[in-house]
Structure 1
Amino acid sequence: MTDKLTSTIRPGGPDDAGAVLGLLDHAIAWLTARGRTGQWGSDPASTDPRRIAQANAYATGGGLHLAMLGDSPVGALVVGAATDDVPPATEPELFVRLLVTDRAHAGLGIGARLLEHAAELARARGLGLLRVDCYGGDDRALVRFYESCGFTATESFTVTRPGRDPWPGQLLIRRLR
């Protein structure tokens, strides 16, 4: 998939865990600079053993796709089965487990292109449902982003983990033709 910016989307692999962590680190720094630490906290993903293990699992699990601008990763998409934190689907689906883009390239539609890529993957598998969960706190800007990409907010939920503030989540769906 190529557009006027000569960006491409390619499958990720075991060597791409560092790229995922780098994208997360930049996103966390951008959010933190704006006082928005509720989504992913303020500590770099690359220093968090849980996030490092998660990035390694994404890179080896077969569901990672990277948006590339030249040789540089500018976005990451991970699709697969839904996480245990969200209400289960009532029909076969593809679930967006991670979407992160490089804020240095904001406004280029990288996130929307990655979500459309996820829809194409779901259609190719004969699936009519694409779901995603996201941070539903603060001003719900992230929820509105997903809605602008054709998703509909459905259920809200809360994730509780020991030693952390509750995380307000929002489940969204997109019906595919």
Structure 2
Amino acid sequence: MADGVVLRRGGPADAGAVLRLLDDATAWLVARGRSGQWGTGPASTDPRRIAQADAWATGGGLWLAQAQDRPVGALVVGAATEYVPAATEPELYVNLLVTDRAYAGRGIGALLLAHAADLARERGVGLLRVDCYAGDDGALVRWYERQGFTPTDPFTVPRPNHPPWPGQVLTRPLHPTRPHPHPPLR
């Protein structure tokens, strides 16, 4: 599915690529009347999102999917965010998954999630968790279900001057001896 895509570890120089992916995804969502997930403004002009991208790029958990030396997807793994219920066992948490909409349907999101599962297995962790936007028609929750995740804990994040953000935690138990094949790493 994701032919010609390579995965590489991200670093401080990649914060701009993450912001570009977020900006493009936000514009795509807004064009479809789905502004509840990430709002309407570009991440690259929001000081909070810029700081978040910088933290992801320097935190050691950023991975990029690249096609022809262009980042077409980003994955950030690490500890769970403070607004979700704590896990009951050791886990690896997907903090960000975003793909380039120009590459939609090519399996890049699935490839990045498979890589997250491999990273968890390498660390001896048997649980992969993620949270996502659960508003609108629930399409994002259903996409994660198709990737092998099970919805567990719904939650809401209060936001000043905005409606609460509806979220859903999803889990995927991992089998320690079944690594998923992925493209070469650089």
Which interval holds the TM-score relative to the shorter structure?
Answer: over 0.9
For 2:26, the equivalent position in structure 1 comes to: 28
Which residue of 103, 106, 111 corresponds with 1:105?
Answer: 103
Structure 1, gaps ≥5 residues long: none
Report the Cα distance in structure 1 between the residues aligned to 2:135 and 2:71, rounded to whole angstroms: 28
For 1:45, the equivalent position in structure 2 comes to: 43
AA partner of residue 163 (structure 2): D
Q: CA deviation at 1:8?
A: 0.5
Identity of aligned residues (%): 71
| Aligned CA distance change for structure 1 residues 176 and 105 (closer, same or farther; 3 Å) | same
For 1:159, the equivalent position in structure 2 comes to: 157
For 2:182, the equivalent position in structure 1 comes to: none
Report the Cα distance in structure 2 between the residues aligned to 1:125 and 1:4, rounded to whole angstroms: 25
Report the Cα distance in structure 2 between the residues aligned to 1:6 and 1:105, rounded to whole angstroms: 12
The one-character-per-residue Cα deviations of 1:89-111 (angstroms, maximum 9, x if unpaired) are 01110000000000101000000
Which residue of 9, 12, 29 corresponds with 2:10?
Answer: 12
- CA-based RMSD of the aligned residues comes to 0.9
Report the Cα distance in structure 1 between the residues aligned to 2:84 and 2:121, rounded to whole angstroms: 22
Structure 2-normalised TM-score?
0.93
Which residue of 161, 169, 173 corresponds with 2:167?
Answer: 169
**Which structure has the higher relative contact order (CA within 8 Å, separation 6+)?**
2
Which residue of 135, 138, 155 corresponds with 1:137?
Answer: 135
The one-character-per-residue Cα deviations of 1:38-97 (angstroms, maximum 9, x if unpaired) are 000010000000000000000000000000001100000000000001000011100000
Report the Cα distance in structure 2 between the residues aligned to 1:164 and 1:45, rounded to whole angstroms: 17
Moved over 4 A (4+): none
Question: Which deviates further from its counterpart, 115-124 or 4-13?
Answer: 4-13
Report the Cα distance in structure 1 between the residues aligned to 2:121 and 2:90, rounded to whole angstroms: 12
Report the Cα distance in structure 2 between the residues aligned to 1:4 and 1:167, rounded to whole angstroms: 32
Report the Cα distance in structure 2 between the residues aligned to 1:139 and 1:10, rounded to whole angstroms: 33
Q: CA deviation at 1:4?
A: 6.2
For 2:116, the equivalent position in structure 1 comes to: 118
Report the Cα distance in structure 2 between the residues aligned to 1:167 and 1:55, rounded to whole angstroms: 20
AA partner of residue 7 (structure 2): I
AA partner of residue 87 (structure 2): A
Structure 1-normalised TM-score?
0.97
Q: Does 1:92 align with 2:90?
A: yes
For 1:128, the equivalent position in structure 2 comes to: 126
SS at match of 1:166: strand
SS at match of 1:23: helix
